[in-house]
A and B are shown apart, each in its own frame.
Chain A
């Protein structure tokens, strides 16, 4: 005797709700995502020497000799850079740094920014230094003693 299973009625899968859900997901991801291309500049790195955003207090015992190969770049409130009292344009700063790096590849650049200068000015100065081939750039900040 053969038992016949009752035939199932054909299961109908409707595609429309699935497409609806997909479209909602699509719109969600399009709206919530940001598409700005983002990069980063390291400010604090593990293993780096203490970055010392504060200049060390000057030793009174022995006059500090200026470290060879260190160039101090001041960043004014308007974003202009000053090296050794000479205000420099971006191109002049790039040329000066390139010349320093050519003479001494281990040149260290120390940037002393004014608190009024904005982040873009600092980032632009860092970019000029990086493009000139400087590999060691530090940012210092004057801090009043408590």
Chain B
């Protein structure tokens, strides 16, 4: 009986290295393009404005939903008083943190403006409203 041996396939390191290159490239690309912001547990569609300044990174994110729901850095907060109580210890120091308000476009101003006033009232000196230049 004749046994035919197939020649062993040659390892091809080149192709897998090219694959790793592509995957690395994609990985770095998505890490640079995306933002790792805390997302609110409810829908927040920021208002559209073409004149905003670039949003700086860092700081605290206060989300304000359409029905007045509040969240701090992605965690839901029951009331404005609870939010202020959570922020007050951090606002007391010499360098209060930046706060960005991520408000839904259709939230009534009777929810938004008192919130801004209250944040200013506990000593926060940098509060910004998040907008988007492109409608989603």
The chain A residues found within 8 Å of chain B, CB to CB, are 15-16, 18-19, 22-23, 25-26, 29-30, 32-46, 51, 53-54, 113-124, 126-127, 130-131, 139, 141
Which residues on B sit within 8 Å (CB–CB) of A40?
A: 52-56, 100, 128-131
The contact of B130 among A15, A25, A32, A39, by CB within 8 Å, is: A39
A-B pairs with beta carbons under 8 Å apart, 8 shown: A33-B34, A39-B54, A44-B116, A44-B125, A120-B48, A122-B47, A122-B112, A123-B131
Shortest Cβ distance from B124 into A: residue: A44
Q: Is the CB of A26 within 8 A of B105?
A: no
CA–CA, A32 to B116, complex, Å?
29
Inter-subunit contact A44/B23 (CB<8 Å): no
Segment among B1-9, B25-33, B79-87 that sits at the interface with chain A: B25-33
Q: Could you tell me if B36 and A33 are in contact, using CB atoms closer than 8 angstroms?
A: yes
A28 to chain B, nearest CB (A): 9
Distance A35 CA – B136 CA, assembled complex (angstroms): 10
Assuming the A-B contacts A19-B16, A33-B35, A124-B49, are A119 and B23 also in contact, with contact meaning beta carbons closer than 8 angstroms in the complex? no
Residues of B within 8 A of A36 (CB): 46, 132, 134, 136
* B36:A113 contact, CB within 8 angstroms: no
Q: Check B72 for interface membership: any CB of A closer than 8 A.
A: no
Instruction: Provide the residues of chain A in CB contact with B113, threshold 8 Å.
Output: 53, 113, 115, 139, 141
List of A residues within 8 angstroms of B110 by Cβ: 115-116
1/0 per residue B58-86: CB within 8 Å of A? Answer: 00000000000000000000000000000
Residue of B55, B101, B108 ringed by the most chain A CB atoms within 10 A: B108
